Structure 1
Amino acid sequence: METTAREFNQRSSQILAAAARGETVTVTKNGVAVARVVPISEDDVPPYPTEPMGEIDLPDLGLPDLGDDEIEETLRGTGS
């Protein structure tokens, strides 16, 4: 199946449903293929958890604790 970027924008739900049914959909822009929506299989799902893993213990680096205002002041003028 092939669709334009505009059609994909307008009909994304139907296009994703087609992929869920096993169809591969090529998205074109100005007649040039720019993306492909493909169905995923169980093999494509990573065998490890991808959900948040809870609290993370960070090592103490001996750095001073800065408040929001101090951080903003430090970053001001650095292009951030």
Structure 2
Amino acid sequence: MEKVLLRLGFTLTDVPDSHLCCGSAGTYALTHPDLARQLRDNKMNALESGKPEMIVTANIGCQTHLASAVVPLCVTGLKF
């Protein structure tokens, strides 16, 4: 995945403790939710420490679990 992103012109940054799990690990987030949230929060802190424009993963489990830590943006003043 890194080679593809580099070919597309993205700049990649090193992540502290990149070897550590996000806490999803298959059913782990379901069977151990409190510990999984702690692992997720630790991973998000590491990922966000470099102030990235975006965070990319090739693993759908990681994507879903990490996304659960993100507060959606609320845009006010829109008219429909």
Q: As a proportion of its length, which structure holds more strand?
A: 1
Q: State which structure, 1 or 2, has the greater radius of gyration over its C-alpha atoms.
A: 1
**Which of 1 and 2 has higher RCO (CA within 8 Å, sep 6+)?**
2
TM-score (norm 1): 0.30
TM-score by length of 2: 0.30
Decide which structure has greater helix share: 2
